[in-house]
A and B are shown apart, each in its own frame.
Chain A
Amino acid sequence: MIELQDVHKAFGDKRVLCGVTLTVPKGESMVIIGGSGTGKSVTLKCILGLVTPDAGTITVGGQPVTKGDRDAFLARFGMLFQGAALFDSLTVWQNVAFRLLRGAQKRARAEAREIAIEKLRRVGLKAETADLYPAELSGGMQKRVGLARAIAADPEIIFFDEPTTGLDPIMAGVINDLIREIVVEMGATAITITHDMTSVRAIADDVAMLHDGVIQWTGTVAEMDGCGDPYVEQFINGRADGPIEAVR
């Protein structure tokens, strides 16, 4: 279980998180929705320790994220970044097997390559893509490679940062289905941040609405449409009028 309790974070004068409290039960798929610049990515980065919160506590499985062996902590996570964040200088299979080629989870090179190719197959990419470089792939293929890298070491927790941004609707649908399948199949705890409502309905068990630095509403995906929360209703219907200012 991932728990955030009254988490605050500011960058200079700009207060991004103003008391985020959120619980993600083990094995659930939580989707955090909210407009651009509302602190969704910062929330994920706080959980991972990439950004240090100014106040509040974050625990994963009851353990504070700032204590204990950092490598062992990070080994429990997989993350798909918004732009895939593949390493340009490495081939596709080396990107996927990055964690398996070094550190505590190191395997023999041939074995790591085999696992990478298997994970590439899992996300619908042929073995021939293994020896290409990221620059030779389309945006959708890069996202799939990023997804394969995120699941390569069978993590307990997976984060997806705007997984369908910049993709055409068909490719977005493919990525959404893949994420859902993988999360169910692996039994992983997942947090996805997005403002794509199609993704929300395809991926989420639970939904949380982040606005003005706090969680405005949280509930199951089935409850979302009739929840009566003005923030959620404005957001999911894409209306310009409502409590969320169109110009931020």
Chain B
Amino acid sequence: MSAAPAPRYLARPLAAIGRPVLAGLASVGRMAIFTLTVISHLIRPPFYPREFAHAIMTIGWYSLPVVGLTALFTGGALALQIYDGSSRFSAEAAVPSIVAIGMARELGPVLGGLMVAARVASSIAAEIGTMKVTEQIDALVTLSTNPIKYLAVPRVLAATLTVPVLVAVGDSIGIMGGWLVGVNRLDFNSAAYLKNTIDFLEAADVASGIAKGAVFGFIIAMMGCFYGMSSGRGAQGVGKATKLAVVASSVLILGSNYLLTEVFFSG
């Protein structure tokens, strides 16, 4: 004897919960398969050096102004905040070291990563999404070219290599922003500020930020490529893909930042 079906008033809310959960799980599964496929192609020929060089320029070089400006203002604001907080217990001398450590460990990689996510993940998703909608991806296949190898691999590789460099540059500019504010607004002695920064900043602080940058770069390009290739039809489909790429990469950056901080600094 078969069991009686659930009453409709019970089934409807359950279906309303179940449908998005299943869709979400399916999306995570597709994302995982896509990521593994891209990784498997990283080491297999053919390679596309021109596309890689182009991706280095568009992802790395052209992101320098936005990352630099973000770091400069963040470093300056950080110096002001720390000065205000530390003056409550006469610890103003800690400003240079906290600015440096804060920029190198957290704010440089996270804010740099988020700015690159906004600029690059959106651009990759929109570009690849448009290519899909206008049948350029199909055209690549008919021209015996694997779209993942030609479009995704150079971008993922370029972002994984250039975002750490952007983070390192951002760290330096952020520390300089703190120094500018410290010397010009907070009356620090320039040489003492720089000596304090150098004395307290350790190689591990910088290295952890750069390692985070590599992970964030990988996430940014991967999300841009995944959502671009999964784009729906028309302008609305491309728009949705672009939005999802930025949201997913931003959330994954913040989540992975916490996990990496646990790995690097807990205990």
Contacts and interface: CB of A to CB of B under 8 A. Distances in A.
Contact of A75 (B54, B136, B144): B144
Contacts of A149: 143
Contacts of A81: 135, 138-139
Contacts of A92: none
B141 interface: yes
A48 B138 CA distance: 10
B258 interface: no
25 contacts: A50-B138, A50-B141, A50-B142, A70-B144, A74-B141, A74-B142, A75-B144, A79-B139, A81-B135, A81-B139, A82-B135, A83-B135, A85-B134, A85-B135, A85-B138, A86-B139, A87-B139, A89-B54, A98-B145, A99-B143, A102-B48, A102-B145, A103-B46, A103-B145, A149-B143
Interface string A44-64: 010011100000000000000
Interface residues of A, number: 25
Nearest to B139: A85
Interface in B141-198: 141-145
Nearest to B136: A85
Contact of B143 (A49, A70, A74): A74
A98 B138 contact: no
Contacts of B135: 81-83, 85
B89 to A, nearest CB: 56
Contacts of A98: 143, 145
Nearest to A100: B143
Interface of B: 46, 48, 54, 130-131, 134-136, 138-139, 141-145
A71 interface: yes
B138 A45 contact: yes
A52 to B, nearest CB: 13
B212 to A, nearest CB: 30
Contacts of A75: 144
A77 interface: yes
A99 to B, nearest CB: 5
B144 A103 contact: yes
A104 interface: yes
B15 to A, nearest CB: 18
A214 B131 CA distance: 31
Contacts of A78: 142
- The list of the 8 closest CB pairs from A to B, nearest first, reads A85-B139, A85-B135, A74-B144, A71-B144, A79-B142, A81-B135, A85-B136, A99-B143
Contacts of A86: 136, 139
A182 B161 CA distance: 46
